[in-house]
């Protein structure tokens, strides 16, 4: 599907397209964008590099889409001027489909989320979710990700995989 989109576009044409788009991206990069943490995975760096020039990713991380849907969004972005190399397209689609696919956890406000959402986070069992809710009830809102990690009782390695889905809004 993706290769068809690029059918007939040789390396040289692709390169000059990229130079054009890079120029556009540099102009747009002067617009300040809020840094968005992304879940780890192959393709994370490519998305940071290629998808933050025109808008931040706060809207993107809220979406849960199938591979086909992410593919059309990425193709749409190329149409809007995202300067992707052909070989970057598949890893980006694969990454988005993995970390923001239909089975990925939603973005979770750690001070409001119910148990049914908390347990969607990898490594968060029903018991762990109960612990967080009990802590919140007893001590009031959580104020930092590190505090969330401690209350959940997760190792950094496990927590690093889920922390991009967590929000600790300032109160
Ligand atoms: C050249 C500028 C540019 C780049 C680079 C770019 N986008 Fe966009 N993007 C836009 C514009 C313009 C819109 C539509 C207006 C808006 O929502 O801000 C948009 C909208 C979106 C939306 C909302 C669309 C929807 O259907 O809800 C998503 C998701 C998105 N972009 C993801 C990405 C991803 C992923 C990348 C990297 C592959 C990317 N964008 C790179 C310009 C860009």
Using the predicted structure, report yes or no on whether residue 40 has a pLDDT greater than 50. Answer: yes
Question: Structural domains in the chain?
Answer: 35-104 (1.10.760.10), 108-167 (1.10.150.310)
Atom of ligand 1 nearest to the CA of 24: 1
Phi, psi of 103, deg, nearest 5: -95, -5
Question: In this predicted structure, what is the pLDDT of residue 37?
Answer: 85
Question: In this predicted structure, what is the pLDDT of residue 3?
Answer: 45
What's the 118 CA to ligand 1 centre distance in angstroms?
A: 28
Q: How confident is the model over 28-57, as a mean pLDDT?
A: 81
Using the predicted structure, report yes or no on whether residue 56 has a pLDDT greater than 90. Answer: yes
Q: Whose CA is nearest to atom 28 of ligand 1?
A: 60
Element (H, E) at 78: helix 67-79
Distance CA 79, CA 6 (A): 12
Largest CA distance in the chain: 63
Q: Whose CA is nearest to atom 37 of ligand 1?
A: 51
Nearest to 159 by CA among 114, 102, 121: 121
pLDDT digits (tens, 9 = 90+) for 67-120: 999 999 999 999 999 999 999 999 999 999 999 999 999 999 999 999 999 999
Using the predicted structure, report yes or no on whether residue 41 has a pLDDT greater than 50. Answer: yes
Question: In this predicted structure, what is the pLDDT of residue 32?
Answer: 42
What's the 63 CA to ligand 1 centre distance in angstroms?
A: 12
Ligand 1 pocket test target in 21, 27, 73 with most atoms within 8 Å of CB = 73
At residue 145, the 3 state secondary structure works out as helix
**Residue 166 Cβ < 6 Å to ligand 1:** no
């Amino acid at each position: 599907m993706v290769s068809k989109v690029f059918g007939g576009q040789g390396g040289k044409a692709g390169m000059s397209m990229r130079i054009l788009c890079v120029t556009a991206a540099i102009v747009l990069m002067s617009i300040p964008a809020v840094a968005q943490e992304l879940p780890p995975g192959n393709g994370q760096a490519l998305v940071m590099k290629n998808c933050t020039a025109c808008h931040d990713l706060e809207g993107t991380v809220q979406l849960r889409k199938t591979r086909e849907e992410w593919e059309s969004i990425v193709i749409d972005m190329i149409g809007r001027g995202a300067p992707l190399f052909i070989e970057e397209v598949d890893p980006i689609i694969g990454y988005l489909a993995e970390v923001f696919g239909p089975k990925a956890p939603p973005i979770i406000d750690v001070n409001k989320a119910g148990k049914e959402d908390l347990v969607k986070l990898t490594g968060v069992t029903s018991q762990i979710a109960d612990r967080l809710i009990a802590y919140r009830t007893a001590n009031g809102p959580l104020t930092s990700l590190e505090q969330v990690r401690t209350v959940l009782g997760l190792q950094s390695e496990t927590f690093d995989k889920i922390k991009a889905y967590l929000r600790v809004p300032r109160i």
